[in-house]
Amino acid sequence: MHAKLFRGCSVLALAVHSVLAAADPASTSSYFTDPQSSHVQDATSRGIGQVSFITCLMAAMRPDALVNKGSYVALIDGSKCDPEAQASGDAVAPAFKTAIIDSTRVSNDDPMIAHIWLEEEDEGRKSNIAVRVSATEPPTSANAYGVFRLDYCGAAEGSEASGCQNNGYLEGSSSGIRYYEKELRDAGDPPSIKAVNLTASGTTSGAGSMSIDGDNGGGTAAFNFAYNETLFRRAEGTDDQCFSRDATDPDTGISVWRYGLYDATTGERITRNSGFPIEYTAGGETYRGYLGYGGLSLPGSALSSMTTGSTVQKVDYGNGSEPTRTDYTVVKSEGKLTKYTRQESTLHAIDQVKFSTFVGNNVTGFYAGATPNTNYEMYWDDAASNFKVVSKSQCDMNGCSTQAVAGTPSVSPSYWHNLNGVQGFSNTLGGEVFIKLAGTMTVAHSDDVSVVYRVQDLVYPSAMPADLYCVRDCLTSASMQSYFSQGSADASPYAAGTFNNFNPAAAGAVVHYHTDSATAMLKDSSNASVVFTDAEALNRSNQYRNGIRGGKLFASLAAAECSTGSQTYCDLKVNELEVYYQWETGPNPYNQFAAVKNTSGTFVTFDAPLQVGYHVPAASKYGEYAGQNIVLQYGGFGELWGIPGYCVSQSSNAVVSCEGDGDGKRYVAAFAIPFDTTTGRVSDGTHTYLVKWLDREIRFANKNVSVCDAAGLQPPSGVVLPTAAELRNPNDASSTYYIGPKPVVEGAPRVVHGEVKY
């Protein structure tokens, strides 16, 4: 089934009109020649998710490119093989895995045999996956799958001789594919078993069956399916559904997981200095990973042993020869400081753009029936000259719940008159937003109302302000320790009196910090490090399980004075500053600071994600975002984030609420930027770029079953599924499928996620 900134108002205008900017690049440029791939996402997809993941990893190992070249090391970014990891639209940290590959072929008439030892680590638990691949024929126009067999066995490190925790095979032939997997669960739980038999008739039609037993804690499903050139039909018991295979059908869902950015004139790829491969040795073991703007990507056991002063080696690939290594000294902190630099737009320019804002105790004048102390999602309606409320959400220790607000009530701008304006957050605009409404009872000219948003930059230790101050949502070591302790009754992890505090604070209530540039650390008034990395404690609270972020920090106390001489200090005054900061901490690499110094003591710096503006075309297929201007972040080739999304049913592909638990829904991007030189352009305010989708997901449009009946397309019956009898264990020394002990390879990785380096 596998077939995946705005720098002021002038930039908004530029993004809208950039389509007129230049002629198309040459047809031989990367923009036109870089390959694109699509895959179908269906309820049956979860049955072969593990195999799709493993085969993606193997493609990134390039055993085909290094046949008979000896054993070599490959680094593979697992996040790029996991569409679900990309689905949020947010930046995804690299998740590099290490594999050793030995690919051989006796002659051109013999199959390619690849022996693969793939290492994994999850929350400190190491495991190894042994894979044997025998490939006889590549895919062709007559045989979409080629002729091959892939067998794998995964086991916890040290327990390989005891059998497989995860054992499976995938076999492709001219008649279709067969797949079987058995995965052991916790003691007392039944194993998870997946089996597929797909019989293909050429490249455009086929039929098959799939069974899933014990998946996700005991779920069971059985599908029969059939497809022809135009339709796909799937039956699960009495649930019989028909889908169109036409990607141009207006009801077909398309989400893109990877995009490339290109120069609008030359069509060449836009690259970023986002990081480099590294090696780190501890306890006699060498770990291979990546260091970049988002932090360190290394196995957890390596990160736990690494401290400030540790040595890592940059692996520098030259012109296709054996790489060189350069020593660097690590500076590591269990928190990180981010700088937010002011950018400005207008209320008119964000017409219909959704944002969220917290409304406190006073709801008088908000709208009738409003709930105090609640987070609301809303937007500015320029035609009506007021705000519209869409939904509301409330958070507690168990997470956040959201519900629609009936009637989309209106809110007058005058509600925020005494609050100086609206403090909110918008993914569409790239983060925090402040709409300045001080003294504004009505909005006659929305072009005159300022909307402030921010560009983010990581702060290196040498640039950390010596002193920082906070009046709202201020973290301290003691407040976090108290909140996350068992049985705590604290309302938040923030210092007393600062949680959601929008009121003036006396000088004595302002939280004062100082920084330690040697350790890249924020210290509170007790000289304690403002960090909390207890993953188990954080996991007890859904709201903070991905880390904790404090409120705005500012370097000048006087700059936040509510009014001159008042000796009181207001968080809202911070919105007027050119720069403010935020501190975050947590157990994940993306919550923490990690950088390296060269032998001269100078930090190696990386490019921050490039912020670009995109004007969504005004067409119905873009739904509620049609005609809007949104902010995206480009972290490097293939990494474009920020497109909003929604949830869809795994069964019908229909849009559903994201609320509630269960695995019957998925979060997907709301629209795809088209591969088009007119409507596929973005701008950073200085340059215009072309966007091209690289990997996309297609979700078939649901049709009445009578459409499939009329075409004579019926699900099969009596299909014989693979069984455990056909499993092979590449770790079993008595088997002809045995791949042998993992070889020791001293050299640097020859392949980094599909790119052969030397």
DSSP letters of 224-292? Answer: EEEE-SSEEEEEETTEEEEEE--TTSTT-EEEEEEEEEEETTT-PBP----EEEEEEEETTEEEEEEEE
Rounded Cα distance, 151 and 130, in Å: 8
Residue with tokens 């921050």: 608
Residue 250 or 716, more confident: 716
The amino acid at 250: P
Q: What are phi and psi of 49, to 5 degrees?
A: -60, -40
Contact 103, 67 (CB under 8 A): yes
The amino acid at 278: I
The CA-atom distances, in angstroms, between 750 and each of 98, 114, 259, 275, 514 are 11, 16, 25, 17, 45
Residue 678's closest CA among 619, 610, 631, 638?
619
Rounded Cα distance, 597 and 474, in Å: 31
CA–chain centroid gap for 182, Å, is 28
Q: Name every residue whose Cβ is closer than 8 Å to that of residue 540 and which is 6 or more positions away in sequence.
A: 397, 484
Q: What is the mean pLDDT of residues 648-654?
A: 81
Q: What is the mean pLDDT of residues 326-332?
A: 93
Q: What are phi and psi of 681, to 5 degrees?
A: -115, 145
Contact 719, 269 (CB under 8 A): no
Among 53-62, 142-151, 456-465, which range has the highest average pLDDT? 456-465
Residue 281 or 652, more confident: 281
Angle at 663 between CA 60 and CA 230, to 5 degrees: 65
Rounded Cα distance, 198 and 630, in Å: 42
The CA-atom distances, in angstroms, between 398 and each of 217, 223, 543, 545 are 21, 35, 7, 10
Rounded Cα distance, 679 and 686, in Å: 18
Count Cβ atoms below 10 Å from residue 162 Cβ, excluding itself.
10
Residue 55 or 120, more confident: 120
Domain ranges of the chain: 1-33+253-268+608-699, 45-228+715-756, 275-334, 342-453, 459-591
DSSP 397: T
Rounded Cα distance, 18 and 38, in Å: 28
Q: Name every residue whose Cβ is closer than 8 Å to that of residue 106 and which is 6 or more positions away in sequence.
A: none
Residue with tokens 């970023």: 272
Residue 49 or 684, more confident: 684
Q: Which helix (H) or strand (E) holds 118?
A: strand 112-122
Contact 14, 21 (CB under 8 A): no
Q: How many angstroms separate the first and last alpha carbons of the chain?
A: 34
CA–chain centroid gap for 154, Å, is 26
Residue with tokens 């195999």: 51
Rounded Cα distance, 598 and 582, in Å: 27
At residue 167, the pLDDT reads 94
Q: Using 50, 70 and 90 to split pLDDT, how confident is the model at 80?
A: confident
Rounded Cα distance, 521 and 514, in Å: 9
Q: What are phi and psi of 653, to 5 degrees?
A: 70, 5
Q: What is the mean pLDDT of residues 574-601?
A: 91
Is residue 176 scored above 90 in pLDDT? no
At residue 292, the pLDDT reads 84
Q: Which helix (H) or strand (E) holds 200?
A: strand 192-201
Q: What are phi and psi of 398, to 5 degrees?
A: -95, 5
Q: What is the mean pLDDT of residues 625-653?
A: 85
- The per-residue DSSP string of 83-130 comes to HHHHTTSS-----EEEEEEEEE-SSTTS-EEEEEEEEEEETTEEEEEE
DSSP 520: T
Q: What is the mean pLDDT of residues 147-158?
A: 91
Rounded Cα distance, 120 and 122, in Å: 7
Contact 552, 581 (CB under 8 A): yes
The CA-atom distances, in angstroms, between 473 and each of 21, 250, 477, 484, 511 are 45, 45, 13, 16, 10
Mean pLDDT over all residues of the chain? 85
Q: Name every residue whose Cβ is closer than 8 Å to that of residue 152 and which is 6 or more positions away in sequence.
A: 54, 129, 130, 131, 132, 166, 167, 168, 169, 730
Residue 674 or 402, more confident: 674
- Here the tokens at position 123 are 């929350």
Rounded Cα distance, 370 and 643, in Å: 30
Rounded Cα distance, 673 and 250, in Å: 15
| Residue-wise pLDDT tens digits, 284-318 | 888 888 888 877 888 878 888 888 999 999 988 76
Q: What are phi and psi of 264, to 5 degrees?
A: -70, -20
Is residue 36 scored above 80 in pLDDT? yes
Among 214-218, 235-239, 512-516, 627-631, which range has the highest average pLDDT? 512-516
At residue 15, the pLDDT reads 36
Residue 219's closest CA among 651, 727, 724, 653?
651
Q: What is the mean pLDDT of residues 344-354?
A: 87
Rounded Cα distance, 296 and 95, in Å: 10
Tell if the pTM clears 0.85, that is, is over it. Answer: no
- Here the tokens at position 660 are 């509630």
Q: Which helix (H) or strand (E) holds 656?
A: strand 655-656
Strands 751-752 and 72-77: parallel
Q: What is the mean pLDDT of residues 546-561?
A: 95
| Residue-wise pLDDT tens digits, 179-188 | 999 988 877 7
| Residue-wise pLDDT tens digits, 8-33 | 333 333 333 333 345 789 999 999 99
Residue 424 or 650, more confident: 424
Is residue 2 scored above 70 in pLDDT? no
Contact 331, 594 (CB under 8 A): yes
